[in-house]
C-alpha cells in the first residue's frame, strides 16, 4: 500500500478527540495543511490530493510530507493509547527501563521492571512478564547480582519457566481455535455428517489438551470455551453453543480488567450469544444482549463501526425472519449513517453481510433495482469477496433479483456456473440444489399452470430441509425455502414467514 493511501485511511479512522489532540500539538505547517485537505474530503483520490497539495504548497515535497504526517499521527496515537491500554502502558515502561539503565540509573531501572512484572501478573500478560523478567536478570547479571541470593535467583528462573509453560499452553489452545475459525471462514460451514467428521481432528486434539492440563488462567479458559462454542455453532447445535457462550460471558464479566483494548474477544462472545439465540428463535432474549453490545465503550472507530453493524443486524434478523419487511426498511434508514455509510470500516465478511441484507430488504419490498445495486458492489467491485463462503449465497440472491427483473439472457449460464462450482468442491446444501432447480423452472414459466401439483411434490423436501441442522446454516442467512414456497404457491413471502412463525415451523 502506498504511504499516501495509508495516510488517507489513517486520517479517516481518527476520532474527533484524536484529531483534536493532534491539532493541539501541531503548529501551522505543510503537514497540517495536508491533514486538513484529507479531513475536508475523506474520499479524495491520491492524485487529486497530490494536485491540491502542490497548488497550496508548490515548494513542498508531497511524498516527504505524507511520510512525516503519517509518523506524527502514529506518535500522537501511541501517546494517547498509553492512558487507555494497559499493554501499551507496560510496553512503554519497559522502554523507559531500558533508557534508565543506559543512563546508569540502575536502581530506578530495576524497580521499574519490578512494577511492570507486578502489573503483568495482575493482567495475566505472560509475554510482558517474560520480557520484563529476562531484562531484569540481564541487568542483575551486569550488576553482579546485588542483594540477590542463589535461592532468589533460582526462584526467578522457576517463575520464568512456569511462564513459558503457560505461554506454550495458550499457544497450543490458540492454534486449535484459530484453525477452527479459519476452516469456518474459508472452507465454509459444515454441510453434512461427512464434513462434520473432518472437524473431529481438532475436537479430539482440543479435548486431549484440556484433559492433560491443569492450567486455570483466564486466557486458557477463554480459548477453551471459544473453541467449544465455535465448534457447536458450526455443527448447528445452537442450544449447546448458547450454554458455552453464557459461560464465556460470565468469565468475561468477572474479569473486566483482563479485557483487551479494543475488547475483540468479548465482542465475539456477544455475537456468538446473539447468533445462538437467533438459531433457536429466542428473539425475546436478544435485546438484553444488544444492550450489553451497545454499552461497550471504545475509542476505536473501526471497532465502534463493527458494534453498530452487529447491533443493526441483530435488530434486523427478528424482523426479516418474521416477515416484517416495512419495519426492516425503517431500521435500515435508522442505521444508514452509522452502518451503511461506514461499511468501508468493516471487514470484508461484514461488508458482504451488510450488502446482502440491504439488498434483501429492497428485494422483499419489491424494489428490485435498488436490491441489484446493493449487491453488485460485492459481485463486481472486488475479487476479495469471491473467496468468502457467503459469496455463493449472494449469487443465489442475485439470481432471484435477475428473475424478478426479467434479466434472463445470462440466467441459465449463471445457474450452470454455480452448479459447476458446487460439483467441483463437492459442498452444497440441499436447499441450494432446490433453489437452482426452482429458479431454472421459474425462468421457463413451468409453474404457471401446475403450482399445486408442484407444491405437493416438493413439500416433503421443504419440510426435510427445515428440520435438517446442517441446512439451518444457510436458512439462517435467508430462508430460501420460504421464498421457494411463496413462488410455487403464488403467495407473498411475508405471509409464508408470518405463518411459519405462528405455527412454530420456521427453519
pLDDT tens, N- to C-terminus, the chain (507 residues):
578 888 988 898 888 888 988 988 888 888 899 999 999 887 788 899 999 999 998 989 999 999 999 999 999 998 888 888 899 999 999 999 999 999 999 999 999 999 999 999 999 999 999 999 999 999 999 999 998 999 999 999 999 999 999 999 999 999 999 988 887 766 655 555 556 666 778 888 888 888 877 767 898 899 999 999 888 887 778 889 899 999 999 999 999 888 888 898 999 999 999 999 998 889 999 999 999 999 988 778 889 999 999 999 999 999 999 999 999 999 999 999 999 988 888 888 899 999 999 999 999 999 999 999 999 888 886 677 877 878 889 999 999 999 999 888 888 888 888 888 877 665 678 899 999 998 988 887 766 577 888 888 889 999 999 888 778 888 888 999 999 999 988 899 999 999 988 876 543
Report pLDDT for 374: 93
| Among 477, 476, 495, CA closest to 485 | 495
End-to-end CA separation in angstroms for the chain: 44
Q: How many CB atoms lie within 10 A of CB 373?
A: 15
The four Cα atoms 354, 360, 366, 367 give a dihedral, to 10 degrees, of: 20
Distance CA 91, CA 491 (A): 63
**Which grid cell sits at 223?**
480459548
pLDDT at residue 34, as a whole number: 92
What is the number of other CB atoms lying within 10 angstroms of the CB of residue 416?
A: 12
Residue with cell 465502534: 304
DSSP annotation of 340 reads G
CA-closest candidate to residue 92, choices 83, 104, 102, 101: 83
Contacting residues for 240 by C-beta, under 8 A, at least 6 apart? 232
Rounded CA-CA distance 166/158 in Å is 13
List Cβ neighbours of 14 (8 Å cut-off, separation of 6 or more).
22, 73, 301
CA 70 to CA 11: how far, in whole Å?
A: 9
For the chain, the 3-state helix, strand and coil shares in percent, each to the nearest 5, are: 80, 0, 20
Residue-wise burial string across 127-148, b where 16 or more C-beta atoms lie within 10 A, e elsewhere: ebbbbbbebbbebbeeeeeeee
Number of residues assigned to the chain: 507
Which cell numbers hold the place of 194? 461427512
- CB environment 175-187: b (16+ within 10 A), e (fewer): ebbebbeebbeee
Grid coordinates standing for 462?
A: 421443504
Rg for the chain, CA atoms, rounded: 28
Whether the upstream peptide bond of residue 41 has omega within 30° of 0, thus cis, is no
Task: Answer for the pair 83, 89: CB distance below 8 angstroms, yes or no.
Answer: yes
The pLDDT assigned to 507 comes to 38
Q: Say what the pLDDT of residue 233 is.
A: 82
CA separation for the pair 485, 438 (Å, rounded): 10
Cα–Cα nearest to 429, from 489, 488, 473: 473
Output the nine-digit C-alpha cell for 491: 403467495
Model confidence, pTM:
0.78
Secondary structure class of 428 (helix, strand, coil): coil
Residue 143 three-state SS: coil
41 to each of 52, 187, 304, how far by Cα in Å?
11, 39, 22
Amino acid at each position: 500500500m502506498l504511504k499516501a493511501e495509508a495516510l488517507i485511511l489513517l486520517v479517516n479512522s481518527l476520532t474527533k478527540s484524536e484529531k483534536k489532540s493532534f491539532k493541539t500539538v501541531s503548529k501551522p505547517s505543510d503537514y497540517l495543511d495536508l491533514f486538513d485537505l484529507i479531513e475536508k474530503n475523506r474520499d479524495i483520490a491520491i492524485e487529486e490530493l497530490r494536485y491540491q497539495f502542490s497548488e497550496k504548497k508548490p515548494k513542498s515535497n508531497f511524498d516527504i510530507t505524507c511520510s512525516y504526517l503519517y509518523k506524527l499521527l502514529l506518535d500522537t496515537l501511541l501517546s494517547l493509547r498509553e492512558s487507555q491500554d494497559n499493554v501499551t502502558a507496560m510496553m512503554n515502561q519497559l522502554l523507559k527501563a531500558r533508557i534508565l539503565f543506559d543512563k546508569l540509573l540502575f536502581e530506578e531501572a530495576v524497580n521499574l521492571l519490578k512494577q511492570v512484572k507486578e502489573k503483568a501478573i495482575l493482567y495475566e500478560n505472560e509475554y510482558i512478564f517474560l520480557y520484563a523478567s529476562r531484562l531484569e536478570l540481564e541487568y542483575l547479571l551486569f550488576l553482579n547480582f546485588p542483594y540477590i541470593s542463589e535461592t532468589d535467583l533460582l526462584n526467578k528462573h522457576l517463575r520464568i519457566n512456569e511462564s513459558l509453560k503457560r505461554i506454550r499452553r495458550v499457544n497450543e489452545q490458540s492454534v486449535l481455535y484459530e484453525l477452527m475459525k479459519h476452516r469456518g471462514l474459508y472452507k465454509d460451514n459444515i454441510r453434512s455428517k461427512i464434513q462434520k467428521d473432518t472437524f473431529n481432528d481438532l475436537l479430539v486434539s482440543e479435548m486431549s489438551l484440556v484433559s492433560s492440563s491443569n492450567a486455570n488462567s483466564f486466557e486458557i479458559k477463554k480459548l477453551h470455551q471459544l473453541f467449544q462454542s465455535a465448534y457447536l455453532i458450526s455443527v448447528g447445535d445452537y442450544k449447546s453453543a448458547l450454554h458455552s457462550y453464557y459461560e464465556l460471558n460470565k468469565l468475561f464479566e468477572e474479569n473486566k480488567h483482563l479485557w483487551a483494548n479494543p475488547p475483540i474477544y468479548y465482542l465475539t462472545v456477544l455475537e456468538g450469544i446473539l447468533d445462538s439465540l437467533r438459531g433457536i428463535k429466542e428473539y425475546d432474549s436478544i435485546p438484553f444482549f444488544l444492550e450489553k453490545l451497545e454499552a461497550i465503550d471504545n475509542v476505536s472507530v473501526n471497532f465502534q463501526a463493527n458494534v453498530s453493524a452487529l447491533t443493526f443486524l441483530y435488530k434486523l434478523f427478528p424482523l426479516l425472519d418474521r416477515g416484517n419487511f416495512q419495519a426492516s426498511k425503517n431500521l435500515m434508514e435508522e442505521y444508514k449513517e452509522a452502518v451503511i455509510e461506514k461499511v468501508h470500516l468493516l471487514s470484508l465478511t461484514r461488508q458482504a453481510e451488510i450488502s446482502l441484507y440491504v439488498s434483501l430488504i429492497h428485494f422483499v419490498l419489491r424494489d428490485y433495482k435498488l436490491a441489484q445495486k446493493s449487491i453488485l458492489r460485492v459481485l463486481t467491485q472486488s475479487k476479495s469477496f469471491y473467496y468468502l463462503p457467503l459469496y455463493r449465497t449472494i449469487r443465489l440472491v442475485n439470481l432471484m433479483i435477475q428473475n424478478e427483473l426479467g434479466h434472463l439472457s445470462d440466467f441459465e449460464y449463471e445457474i450452470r456456473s454455480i452448479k459447476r462450482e458446487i460439483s467441483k468442491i463437492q459442498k452444497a446444501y440441499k436447499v441450494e440444489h432446490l433453489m437452482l432447480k426452482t429458479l431454472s423452472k421459474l425462468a421457463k414459466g413451468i409453474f404457471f399452470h401446475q403450482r399445486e401439483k408442484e407444491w405437493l411434490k416438493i413439500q416433503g423436501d421443504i419440510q426435510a430441509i427445515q428440520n435438517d441442522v446442517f441446512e439451518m446454516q444457510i436458512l439462517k442467512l435467508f430462508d430460501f425455502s420460504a421464498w421457494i414456497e411463496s413462488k410455487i404457491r403464488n403467495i407473498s413471502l411475508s405471509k409464508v414467514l408470518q405463518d411459519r412463525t405462528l405455527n412454530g415451523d420456521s427453519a
